[in-house]
Amino acid sequence: MKFIDEKLRAPPESGARVPEKTSVSAGDCGLLLVRMTFGLLMAGHGSQKLFGILGGDGLDATGRGFAALGYRPGVLYAVMGGGSEFLGGLGLALGLFTPLASAALIGVMINAMATVTAAHGLWESQGGVEFNVCIAVVALAVAAIGPGRYALDRAFRWGRGGWPEAAFALFVGGIGAAVVLSL
């Protein structure tokens, strides 16, 4: 708390604010690590669906899987799901359009929970929602905290995070999931 107070307190003689600390912090590096890990893993997961790389089945097989879940046409939903994971993951990793990237990941995780994992309970060992909840919460937390110092969004207002960014990510992700689930 002392650092925050000192950061906002102006020297009496200048009337100006004390400049922000410019050294590398553990928090900045930790947030970058979280964003890169979750973001790149989600982008990889989406690329399995879209491109059939990294051990994935590709678009046609994924489309058949989506059709078996009741999503028709399956390939269209495979593109939407895989694209949300791929682009949302890249956005999260780069810290680019962070609230929108978070919304994409939240939406696709809500869909995964509603259609596949919720019927199996909480724990991943039984096929439950555990992993989906973790991804959605990390995406929401990054939207709330902001992408940090090492992000492409840093220069923009939404790059600082906050309640509006978190609300946007949750609302847009939830609405997107609700629309897809209602079709």
pLDDT tens by residue, 38-74: 999 999 999 999 999 999 999 999 999 999 999 999 9
Query: Residue 158 has what pLDDT?
Result: 86
Give me the phi and psi of 96, to 5 degrees please.
Answer: -120, 125
**Burial (Cβ within 10 Å: 0-12, 13-18, ≥19) of residue 155:** exposed
Q: Are the C-beta atoms of residues 77 and 64 closer than 8 Å to each other? A: no
Residue 30 pLDDT greater than 80, yes or no: yes
Q: What angle (nearest 5°) sits at the alpha carbon of residue 145, between those of residues 141 and 148?
A: 120
pLDDT computed for residue 157 by the predictor: 87
Contact 172, 109 (CB under 8 A): no
pLDDT digits (tens, 9 = 90+) for 97-150: 999 999 999 999 999 999 999 999 999 999 999 999 999 999 999 999 999 999
